[in-house]
Amino acid sequence: MSEYAIRPLSPDTWADFAALAERHNGCWNAVHGSCWAAGGGCWCMRFQRGCGVRQPGEDNRARKERLVSEGLAHAALVFDGAVAVAWCQYGTPAELPNIYHRKEYAAGLGTLPDYRLTCLFVDKHHRHKGLAGVALRGALDLIAQAGGGVVEAYPQDTAGQQISASFLYSGTRSLFEQAGFSYDRSKGKYHSVMSKTVQRS
């Protein structure tokens, strides 16, 4: 991890985040709900509060920038030198309420976590270098600096099968196990609920 730097998503790093997203046509472009189908890519808006609420003429990019400026969108950005090459989105359940399989999730829910990790993204030219893990650990470090708490994630439980990268936006179960997360329960056909308590740093 020493060759990379972690910086939080903020107005100061917005241009770096935007450049990474724009290199990939707004990141994920599959049609999975209104935020994904709005045109110009999802911009990591699918799970965000206000996903379906837009101001006149506002696309996902503009909505994301507005939320960042308001302090309502969080992510750990991984920098290779001066260039952002990966990120891990995190936030409170109030900030990231739009998870998949919500009814099944709620049926097995005891207490809401303090934070959720909902999306990982790595630049196509920097994949297979362990950067998803770097971004994940970066997010956990930022959460620790913010006071820590129970962190939940919803990765794919691939069971060793090859899965298209377009479906691995939430990472894999093995990735989170390596980061110290524990398996809680299944959620949907291929996803799981995993959690970890992060101490204040």
pTM score, whole prediction: 0.88
Query: Residue 2 corresponds to which tokens in the numbers above?
Result: 């020493």
pLDDT digits (tens, 9 = 90+) for 74-86: 999 999 999 999 9
Q: Residue range 139-144: average pLDDT?
A: 98
Of 33-37, 115-119, 176-180, the range with the lowest mean pLDDT is: 33-37
Cβ count within 10 A of residue 57: 6
Q: Residue range 94-101: average pLDDT?
A: 92
Domain that holds residue 118: 5-198
pLDDT digits (tens, 9 = 90+) for 103-114: 999 998 999 999
| Cα separation, 170 vs 163, whole angstroms | 12
CATH code of the domain in which 37 resides: 3.40.630.30
Q: How far apart are the first and last CA of the chain?
A: 18
Residue 183 pLDDT > 90 = yes
Total domain count, the chain: 1
pLDDT digits (tens, 9 = 90+) for 21-59: 999 887 655 444 444 444 567 888 889 876 555 555 678
